[in-house]
């Protein structure tokens, strides 16, 4: 019996988070990019940091938080959760 199946590669599609500002904060914290980050409901402040890659799937699972990332990979954050979707 012969079966044929094609090996189709899955295309990597960018994951859209409901708030691109919050995704940028998640990416910056996950990557330890120096900056000051504050999110409180609809208020999002990011001083420093970096824009996320198109395929970055990380999210923040908290509606509020504050973080400070200093050079030398020192991070002080109220957020202790995971960035996994």
Give tens-digit pLDDT for 37-55: 999 999 999 999 999 999 9
Query: pTM for the whole thing?
Result: 0.76
Q: Is the pLDDT of residue 36 over 70?
A: yes
Quote the pLDDT of residue 41.
92
In angstroms, the Cα distances linking 7 to 2, 3, 10, 23 are 16, 13, 9, 32
Structure tokens at 23: 């995704």
Contact 44, 79 (CB under 8 A): no
Q: Is the pLDDT of residue 58 over 80?
A: yes
Residue 12 or residue 84, greater confidence: 84
């Amino acid at each position: 019996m012969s079966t044929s199946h094609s090996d189709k590669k899955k295309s990597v599609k960018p994951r859209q988070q409901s708030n691109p500002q919050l995704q940028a904060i998640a990416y910056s914290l996950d990557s330890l990019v120096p900056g000051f980050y504050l999110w409180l409901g609809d208020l999002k402040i990011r001083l420093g940091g970096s824009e996320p890659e198109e395929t970055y799937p990380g999210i923040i699972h908290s509606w509020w938080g504050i973080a400070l990332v200093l050079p030398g990979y020192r991070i002080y954050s109220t957020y202790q959760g995971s960035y996994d979707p």
